[in-house]
A and B are shown apart, each in its own frame.
Chain A
Amino acid sequence: SSSEPVKDEL
């Protein structure tokens, strides 16, 4: 979702 943009990174 757009409110969690960076935590899809490592």
Chain B
Amino acid sequence: MNAFRFLGDMTHLFSVLVLLLKIYATKSCSGVSRKTQELYMVVFVARYMDLFTDYISLYNSVMKVVFITSSAAIVWCMRRHPQVRRTYDRDQDTFRHVVLVAASFVLALIFNERFTFREICWAFSIYLEAVAILPQLVLLQRSRNVDNLTGQYVLFLGAYRAFYILNWIYRYFTEGHTSRWIPWIAGLVQTALYADFFYYYFLSWKNNVKLELPA
């Protein structure tokens, strides 16, 4: 495992920890899109079904369990926790996320590495992950006051994607895999979605003002 891959996994892990910390410490999920969290839960379950069939490393297995359980815990808090659920911005989190699920599924049926149940699930999870942040970005744009932790959550998620691209470039030159166009294209789309956010995050940091995305 190269350093880029490891840094990617760590920033991904940090993003989840930041979000759990925000929800736990403030007992509030304001500014957090439940739809994005539900999409991530679907992504992780679809992709990590190999948890019991393909062992790669203890590191991989532990991370898979962490990502599935943490996303489930966040969704559970936002739906069931007596205090947290009341802070959910239901009226602003209106993105039609079912459309993303359906579109990703159709794409996975057409573009996959093999027409098997597992490969279709894997491709589906790659496509869905690429667009799962959209409800969160729309919600950020609608909320006038983005709190620091929510901003950092999205920043870490974006960093995770950027590090994974560097990881693929590194692997391309050291191992030479050229046929992996599904994660490459989906990964580039996914990272591009953060470009706008990175720009405004940088501006708010540079000018030392609160993050606000233009409508």
Interface residues of A (CB under 8 A from B): 2, 5-10
Contact = CB atoms under 8 A, between A and B. Distances in A.
B175 A7 contact: no
A10 to B, nearest CB: 5
Contact of A7 (B5, B50, B63): B50
B63 A10 contact: yes
Interface of B: 5, 9, 12, 50, 54, 56-57, 60, 63-64, 67, 122, 164, 167, 171, 175, 177, 180, 183
B186 to A, nearest CB: 11
Nearest to B47: A10
A8 B63 CA distance: 12
A2 B167 CA distance: 16
Nearest to A5: B177
A10 B64 CA distance: 7
Contacts of B56: 8
Contacts of B12: 10
Contacts of B57: 8
B63 to A, nearest CB: 5
B9 A10 contact: yes
A6 B123 CA distance: 12
Contact of A8 (B60, B67, B122, B164): B60
A2 B177 CA distance: 9
Contact of A9 (B5, B54, B67): B5
Contacts of A10: 9, 12, 60, 63-64, 67
Contacts of A7: 50, 54, 122
A2 to B, nearest CB: 8
User: Most A CB atoms within 10 A — which of B50, B56, B63?
Assistant: B56
